[in-house]
């Protein structure tokens, strides 16, 4: 039996822990995890300590046996940015750090470099009836999205002059067991049983279950036609925020109490309290087209949105019980 040696960076993060767990269940991979601090890993996964990631990081030891890299490590998008020059800080890790790793990987003989980018490269919203595709002209708005685009461009240029294959994956909002941030807050809102003023929201948004993301990443590790391609990835089921709240309420056994408030009033309130970015995520649409994944790779999301939401809520309730 042949084995593929895979190095996963950002192994302690939300995606990284799930990906490592998923891949470690297969006998087909030799796995190494690049980590900044000691973490619990499956017994068949080798830890490779690495310091801060930037343009000067030495990757010699982690790359010694790697054939494929899944690069998850990044300075992630934050809602309350404190840096004086955010774009500079994002570039240090997301651009310089990524390209430094990729150049060393190419010299070390790595054959495929999978870069987890962001849908923010495409933009922040889609118009009614429209979807983002992998072939769209990028239109990032914030420093995080800009840094991800610049990393993508650098990787694709590198692919032109080396034999290393590049695969770029732009996920939409990811959820699953252990999810934090905005999605966790949404579940908490529904759990309170308090009325939510989102009954009139008719937007459509794409979401991505962690189970579907790790399955897609594995497909890109092995599929020959993934080489030098850009993919958008989602569950393939677009729903409104109101529909999401109803589904979460069903899973929580606490029906969501939605009241109808005019959209213009919601926008006005968000502007007054300086939460326009929150309103954008709740009220605007963001949809992606994954037909390329199906056509080129034969990939279909293996888990339905409803089933994935049920698993996410189950984990949320278990954590809530342990903490209280």
Active-site residue numbers? 144
Give how far Cα 140 sits from Cα of 21, 118, 119, 224, Å: 32, 10, 9, 29
Interatomic CA distance for residues 165 and 160, integer angstroms: 9
**Listed residue (132, 42, 147) closest to 85, CA to CA:** 147
CA distance 185 to 63: 38
In whole angstroms, what is the distance from residue 41 CA to residue 57 CA? 23
Nearest to 56 by CA among 105, 87, 85, 93: 93
Listing DSSP states for 222-275 in one string gives H-GGGTTEEEEE--S-EE-HHHHHHHHHHHHTS---B----HHHHHHHHHHTT-
Q: Which of 129, 287, 153, 302 is nearest to 230 (CA)?
A: 153
Parallel, antiparallel, or unpaired: how do β-strands 238-239 and 205-209 relate?
antiparallel
Q: How many angstroms separate the Cα of 253 from the Cα of each of 187, 190, 239, 256, 265? A: 12, 10, 20, 9, 30
């Amino acid at each position: 039996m042949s084995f593929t040696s895979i190095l996963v960076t950002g192994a302690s993060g939300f995606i990284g822990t799930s990906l490592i767990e998923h891949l470690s269940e297969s006998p087909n991979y030799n796995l190494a995890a690049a980590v900044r601090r000691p973490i619990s890993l499956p017994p068949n996964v080798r830890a490779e300590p690495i310091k801060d990631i930037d343009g000067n990081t030495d990757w010699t030891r982690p790359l010694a046996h790697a054939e494929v890299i899944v690069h998850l490590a990044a300075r992630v998008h934050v809602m309350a940015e404190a840096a004086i020059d955010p774009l500079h800080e994002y570039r240090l890790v997301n651009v310089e750090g990524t390209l430094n790793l990729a150049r060393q990987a190419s010299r070390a003989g790595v054959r495929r470099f999978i870069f987890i980018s962001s849908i923010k490269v495409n933009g922040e919203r889609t118009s009614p009836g429209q979807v983002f595709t992998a072939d769209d002209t990028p239109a990032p708005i914030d420093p995080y999205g800009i840094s991800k685009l610049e990393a993508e461009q650098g990787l694709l240029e590198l692919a032109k002059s080396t034999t290393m294959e590049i695969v770029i994956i732009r996920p939409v909002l990811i959820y699953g067991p252990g999810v934090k941030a905005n999605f966790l807050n949404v579940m908490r809102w529904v759990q309170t049983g308090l009325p939510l003023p989102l009954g009139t929201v008719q937007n459509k948004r794409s979401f991505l279950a962690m189970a579907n993301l790790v399955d897609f990443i594995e497909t890109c590790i092995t599929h020959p036609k993934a080489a030098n391609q850009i993919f958008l990835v989602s569950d393939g089921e677009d729903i409104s925020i109101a529909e999401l709240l109803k589904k979460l309420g069903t899973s929580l056994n606490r029906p969501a109490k939605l009241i109808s408030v005019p959209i213009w009033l919601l926008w006005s309130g968000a502007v007054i309290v300086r939460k326009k970015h929150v309103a954008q995520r709740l009220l605007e649409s963001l949809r992606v087209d994954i037909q390329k994944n199906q056509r080129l790779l034969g990939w279909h999301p293996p888990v339905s949105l409803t089933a994935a939401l049920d698993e996410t809520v189950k984990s949320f309730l278990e954590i809530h019980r342990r903490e209280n």
